[in-house]
Each structure stands twice: as structure tokens, then as C-alpha cells.
Structure 1
Amino acid sequence: MAFSARVSRDVIAQINVTPLVDVLLVLLIIFMITSPVVMHKTALDLPQPSSTPLTDPPRPIHLAIHQDGQMYWNDTPINLNQLSVQLSIAAAQARQPALQIDAADGVAYDVVARVLAQAKAQGVSHIDMLGE
């Protein structure tokens, strides 16, 4: 069986413009939809510059909790009752310092949970957990 293939050696010199027209129509529709959105003005309430100089934030409090449950407030040993007093003093300041809790790897979760609960109860607003 022989099949005949009609092979034309003529070069087609026409460009298919249908995909080009489709892309242009889609772009036209996109621009028609987005142009009204761009034309709307939005009122912004930007903060005004103040003449008062910015002060440095207070030095953060470093609370280290060792593996055996011993706590250190800025490298000074402290117990749970003293911690409550220190947290209330820190929370009463006009600009509260950040409380940075650095718990050791093997410390019991209960100890850290009690410290967090006391800090929240005393009103400390900024608590950071440090770790490696």
C-alpha cells in the first residue's frame, strides 16, 4: 500500500493575527476595569511631626530561668514572691520595659507558665521569649 502525501513547498507568508487580537481585547478589558479604581482619591490621616524629641526606650528586663527553676532578674537571684513585686513595679512605670524571659532547655514548663501568668496578672504588656 502506498500513501501519497501532498507536500507543498510554498512558504506561508501570513501571520495569524487572531491570538494577537484576543490578547489586545483582554488587555483592553483589564484597563477598562482598573482605570476607575486608579482615579479615586483616598484620604490618608498621616501622623504629624512633633517637636518633642524621642527618648530612648527603657532598658529591657532580662529574666533568666535555669534548669533547676532558679530565677535571675538582671543577673540577681530572685524567688517567686520577689518576682511578683518586681513585675508590679515594672508594670507601674510610665514606659514599661520589655520583659525578656530566657528559659534554659531543661526547665519545667510549669515554672515558665507561672512566670508568664504572673507577668500578665501584673500588667506587663511586652514579653519576649529568648532562645537559641
Structure 2
Amino acid sequence: MAMSVGSESTHEDEGIVDINTTPLIDVMLVLLIMLIITIPLQTHSVSIDLPQGNPPPSTITPPMVTIAISYDNSITWNGTPVPTDDDLQARLRGAVTGPEENQPEIHIHPDRLTDYKTVAHVLAVSQRLGVTKLGIVGLDQFMEGQ
């Protein structure tokens, strides 16, 4: 006695009606490879003439100005006391006149006991007057553990 697999309505003379997808997948892969090979490479390049070698070092060293702010909030300009705020502004205006490459480097050196508002005021005046080369030096005194 034979065992039948599937539904009972199938007869021996009926064929399989499922589509064989293997050749279809093979054709699609071949077409995909052909498409990838035939696509031209996109070369978006911009030609730029870049300088070769290292630039020469600057021959002009800018002057350096030290603004020291002491513990009693008094301000000195390269060791010379600055009595008023107008005098500080006049000195800063004199420092920023001329081309930017000739402006002096201004180093602000606050004392550890200086009020923050005095340092902030000097920074604000410097920024308002257009000082571009400005830095705070002597920050090692503010590091913890010293």
C-alpha cells in the first residue's frame, strides 16, 4: 500500500506549477554586476595650487606689553602704574593703532588675590578697543596643590 503525500485532490498526471526562480536570480545578479561595471566613476576633484615647503619664519617679533594686576587691584603697564581707567584705555588705544601684525602682544598677569571684577574689566576694555593679541599669563599660581 502506498502512502500519498500532500492533498488528496492531486493526481499523478498534474505537474508542479511553482515557478523556478533560480534562473531569474542568476540573470538579475549578472545584470547587477554589468550595471556596476559600466557605471562611470565620478571624479569630483578641484585642482588647487598649494605652496610647497615650510613658510619662512616671521622676521618681525611683536613687542610685548605686560599688564600686571596686583592684590590691591592696582594696575601697572610694563611696571609703570596706571592710575585711572581712562589712562588704561588711552594706552590700549595706542597699542592697537596701526596694522594688526604690528600690534603688541598684551599679557595680563593677575595676582592670586586680585578681585575677579578687576581682571574682567581689563579684559572687557581690551576686547572693546579691538585688542587681538591678548593672553593671561601666570596661571600656574592658581593650580591646586601648590
Q: Give CA deviations for 1:67-88 in whole Å, capped at 9, x if unaligned.
A: 1011110111113221100001
Q: Which structure has the greater CA radius of gyration? A: 2
Structure 1 length normalisation: TM-score?
0.60
The answer on 1:101 being equivalent to 2:105 is no
Find the residue that maps to 2:63 and give its secondary structure. Answer: coil
Task: From the superposition, tell whether residues 44 and 100 of structure 1 become closer, same or farther in structure 2 (CA, over 3 Å).
Answer: same
RMSD over equivalenced CA pairs, Å: 2.6
The answer on 1:88 being equivalent to 2:93 is yes
Structure 2 length normalisation: TM-score?
0.55
Task: From the superposition, tell whether residues 55 and 75 of structure 1 become closer, same or farther in structure 2 (CA, over 3 Å).
Answer: same
Q: Report what 1:117 is aligned to.
A: 124
Q: Give CA deviations for 1:106-132 in whole Å, capped at 9, x if unaligned.
A: 100100011001101111011110012
Runs of 4+ in 1 over 6 A off after TM superposition: 39-42
**How many residue pairs get matched?**
93
Q: Mind listing any 5+ residue stretches in structure 1 that lack a counterpart? A: 1-35
Find the residue that maps to 1:61 and give its secondary structure. Answer: strand
